[in-house]
A and B are shown apart, each in its own frame.
Chain A
Amino acid sequence: MTVDMVIGASVLAATLRLAAPILLAALGGVISERAGVVNIALEGSMLVGAFVGIVAAEQTDSIVIGVAAAIIAGTLLAGIHAIAAIHWRSDQIVSGMALNILALGLTSYLNFQLYGTTGTPADVPDLPTVADQSILVWVSLALVPLTHLFLFGTVSGLRLRAVGEHPRAAETVGIGVRRVRYAAVLASGALAGLGGAYLSLSVAHSFTDGMTAGRGFIGLAAVIFGKWSPIGALVAALLFGYGNALSTSLQGATIGDTRVPVQLLGTLPYLLTILAVAGFVGRSRPPAADGVPYEKEGH
């Protein structure tokens, strides 16, 4: 094991590369949960984004259309969650679970239908890179201050936070709770869809069944570990990405005679998140109405 394996340039570059999709999902999660809707279908939005992104890019030979289609696909899946959670007041966890299974089933089914067992074609156009990183990495980083400004520096952000904390109070001052929540959930799906596009179009250059492999859930963990703030989510995503990068970099490395159990590094995001919600790493408190369906009175 060498120092380079731990903080070398390639590890740090990998950290950014691995953090970006987590960050995009997490920013979506922050917006949605700040408005009071838990969206665990982020994973599903990412997966349909990844799939539709590849299909659209391959069909049109346009990377822009591929990315746009991925965003739309992620948004649509989130739209279903929004209807369930907001309009029908469904249980948000159950609906999210269902949509994750649906996304996995749909993309795998269509992948089989379109490409059989050969896999997606390899000749999809590539995303441009800036400073050796995909442009989407920089986009995801730029979205952090923008999301922060939106939440804490704009009228819409103020209203969104009000809706997530106390929807009835927001309603009494004329804020359309449902509208705000719809917008927030759709935005979270768009961001997760973009994260999916990044995974398939920029990292893997292909689609494989279930390729998001829980990144949407790591994004959810980053929301919680980052205390429902965009900057916190960035810190969490970088930390989780770093852990991920380490587990690749340290593959086969040894300390003395023992092989480093790199697989255990994968538990890091989840362990840290549990410690954070349990209050061992600073108390992490969700918005008061997070996950609580809102029912208008008397109508």
Chain B
Amino acid sequence: MTALLEMQGIRKRFGELVALDGVDLSVEERDVHALLGENGAGKSTLMNVLYGLYAPDGGRILLRGEDARIGGPRDAIARGIGMIHQHFMLIPPLTVTENVVLGDERTGALLDRRVIRERVRELQSRFGIEVDPDARVEDLPLGLQQRVEILKVLYRGSDLLVFDEPTAVLTPQEVDELFAIVRTLREQGKTVILITHKLREVFAVTDRITVLRLGRNAGSLVTSATTAGEIARLMVGRELRELRPRATAGSRDVVLEVTGLGALSDRGTPALLDVGLTVHAGEVLGIAGIGGNGQSELAECIMGLRRPTAGDMRIGGADVSRDGPRRTRAGGVCYVPEDRRREGLVLAFTVADNLILGKQAGPPYATFGVLDPQVIEREGALLAREFDVRPPNPLAIAGNLSGGNQQKVVLGRELSSSPRLIVVSQPSRGLDIAATEYVHDRLLEQRARGAAILLISSELDEIRALSDRIAVMYEGRIVATLPAAEATEERLGLLMAGHESAGAA
């Protein structure tokens, strides 16, 4: 039996960067196939090639054994390939029905709303996908929006459905419902490719696995005949790093104390509910959780970037609930934001200019509002060298540095002022292993110095490697706080999935 899909020797480069270096992928009909790999392994690029969004620089694609040239999404759709994008490709002000049929309306020039609604209803009952066909997409929660995406693909008669990291924005319950839908799809004769980097999902729903690493094939596996350890080794290309031994936390002085904190998200929905936590000097408190459970809002509240709607925040005993970012920072708090390219740096500025961001108004960089370029450049050169920014040129444009070196610039700026509280969000996202280790070492150095660190990360490895205590966030609440020693991966996983009872064990 030939495979439904064969991708052979696919190459794709973006300028200097080789994203795919001769990747193969073979998917059997009626399988759920996992495409696994770390961030930047090339999973999404490969699927964008399949869907015709990227033109490959080499390789070929076979569908049911026949050569398929896919010049764009239109070709892909015509050949029965459907994509459920990670960032939903929906038009918010249009209705569910309109979104489903868009581009393939089949109603003549005039839009016959009744006919298309009926067609969508039919599809829904066949695949057991429930969502109000007349609702406007912008009014739906993300889990339901994803169903609209699935309906879109099914409406176009796709036999091969590609899910690009579908669970990233879902609640655990929504994930279960999604997997139920995926199983129904398989029963109805569809083939599914699931892009993910979460092992739990691989074992929950897939039949076969292809692992990519750094733009190349790292292995092909049958799910029922492998282990989490084997997959993880293929993904990272080495044994998982041992947790490093370290001294117990120093003093017990409370630096940050948050009680009853509440806040709204950008969309005006509750993002934080009665959040309480403390961080001591010389301690790392890790905040674990699936992205989008209120972690970003928590960091923003502490930094004064988001107004709390309830509760109280104290730093070193002083109430900071109403402080803006300037006052918060003046009180010895620093921040390594999640999105370093947009929040951490002004990419068009030089390294030296980035290193004074937030410190531009006072000595030693300015007197009475007048800048001293010599001091800025001299200090910039010093910090760039101290934090191993490469090249160590203070006049280099930040946007031209690699991700790891950009993060070093952020760290250099934030950590050089000897803060007493450091709020860090996803500090190693998108970084290679060496840069990640560098970042971790620097943070532990600050901990040893006596700084209190609030570490927000969706990478469990990172949380467990650095934290003294671990708090788990779920749907805007802290559902448990555990000492690191008691926080096994399994227990954290359960808590992150909303099983609160795991915390009490």
Contact = CB atoms under 8 A, between A and B. Distances in A.
Are chains A and B touching directly in their complex (CB below 8 angstroms)? yes
A297 B48 CA distance: 9
Contacts of B109: 154-156
Interface string A166-193: 1011111111000000000000000000
Contacts of A154: 109-111
B73 A299 contact: no
Nearest to A164: B91
A126 B110 CA distance: 37
B55 A173 contact: no
Given A169-B91, A170-B91, A162 B102 contact: yes
Interface string A269-299: 0000000000000000000100000000111
B94 A161 contact: yes
Given A169-B91, A298-B55, A155 B110 contact: yes
Nearest to A288: B92
B77 interface: yes
A166 B102 contact: no
B48 A153 contact: no
Contacts of B55: 298-299
A165 interface: yes
A175 B54 contact: no
Interface in B1-53: 12, 14, 48, 51, 53
Residue in A168, A170, A174, A297 whose Cβ sees the most chain B Cβ within 10 Å = A174
B90 interface: yes
Interface size class of A (residues with CB under 8 A): 20 to 34
A81 interface: no
Interface in B88-131: 88-94, 98, 102-105, 107-111
A171 B91 contact: no
Given A154-B110, A174-B73, A174-B74, A159 B102 contact: yes
Interface in B136-169: 152, 156
B83 interface: yes
A158 interface: yes
Contacts of B89: 166, 168-169, 172-173
A153 B110 contact: yes
Contacts of A175: 102-103
A165 B55 CA distance: 25
Given A298-B53, A298-B54, A172 B85 contact: yes
Nearest to A165: B91
Contacts of A169: 88-91
A89 to B, nearest CB: 18
B164 to A, nearest CB: 11
Nearest to B106: A155
B212 to A, nearest CB: 18
A170 B89 CA distance: 8
Contacts of B92: 165-166, 288
Interface of B: 12, 14, 48, 51, 53-55, 72-74, 77, 83, 85, 88-94, 98, 102-105, 107-111, 152, 156
Interface of A: 153-159, 161-162, 165-166, 168-175, 288, 297-299
9 contacts: A158-B94, A161-B93, A166-B91, A170-B102, A170-B103, A172-B53, A172-B89, A173-B104, A175-B103
Instruction: Return the 4 tightest CB-CB contacts between A and B, nearest first.
Output: A173-B103, A298-B54, A169-B89, A174-B74
